[in-house]
Amino acid sequence: MTYYKLTTKIFLILSFLFAQGSLFAETTIQNETTNILVAKAKSSESTKAPVEEDFTEDDEDIIEVSDPFESINRKIFSFNDKVYVYALKPIARGFRAVIPENGRVATSNFFSNLLAPLRMVNASLQLKGEDATNETFRFLINTTLGLGGLFDVAKKDFKIKIKKEDFGQTLGHYNVANGPYLVLPFFGPSSVRDGVGLLVDGAYLDAVSYIYDDETGRYLLVKLIDIETTLSLDKDTYEAIKKDALDPYIFIRNAYIQHRAGAVEK
């Protein structure tokens, strides 16, 4: 694999994380509605200032975030915001207009199925036998009965739900700390630990990279379709955060760290 091809794949893998960035906060809200972040996210502009300050102080007690590069991170956050608003999201809206939702859901299922070996391997590394077994069955069922993964038959008919695992979670399982919070150009929210995890998953467990090992152009196209399909199915979560959160940077940073902490604990 050439240096150019490797760096290109790393770029797209991390870009997918950026495309998912707005979903981290949504997941946190749905799964941890009793957390202070929910109250902060739903607070309106009419909320009294002393209450807002109390939320900030409580957040700091609940969520410990190492952000020594905040000034730089904020500048990169602003840059990524423009990339999202003027490039990624317009294409996603085009997907919405052209492709029926059922078609986009099937496409999303297909790419999710390709990640089953990644989830299975990381569950095994964490000695989560039940999760690894479930992912193995999900892959076999959806690849066959689900027509190559287009339909999530494992969930619908066999009640086997997906359990997301990655190498960043594996490192966390063995008590590797997050390290400093990072906002990467084009890539979005991350940390030192999760950055290493993404590189390992992308280099060794990305099924698409094996399928198109010598076809960089097709690899890029497939990854772009994956990214834009995911964004097209999102209900403008990021836009809602920008509108309602007192400080979108802080909200997304805390939501990301909390989401990852919860993922490691499960």
How far is it, in rounded angstroms, from Cα 177 to Cα 179? 6
Domain membership of residue 104 as a residue range = 3-265
How far is it, in rounded angstroms, from Cα 168 to Cα 88? 25
pLDDT tens per residue across all 266 residues of the chain:
554 455 545 555 444 444 444 444 444 434 443 344 444 444 444 444 444 444 444 444 456 889 999 999 999 999 999 999 999 999 999 999 999 999 999 999 999 999 999 999 999 999 999 999 999 999 999 999 999 999 999 999 999 999 999 999 999 999 999 999 999 888 789 999 998 998 999 889 999 888 887 788 888 889 889 999 999 999 899 999 999 999 999 999 999 999 999 999 98
Q: Which residues contact 235 (CB under 8 A, 6 or more apart)?
A: none
Nearest alpha carbon to residue 244 among 39, 17, 24: 39
Contact 189, 168 (CB under 8 A): no
Predicted confidence (pLDDT) per residue in 157-167, tens digit:
999 999 999 99
- pTM equals 0.77
Predicted confidence (pLDDT) per residue in 21-70, tens digit:
444 444 443 444 334 444 444 444 444 444 444 444 444 445 688 999 99
As a residue count, the chain comes to: 266
Task: Count the domains in the chain.
Answer: 1
- For the chain, where are the E strands, in sequence order? 181-184, 188-191
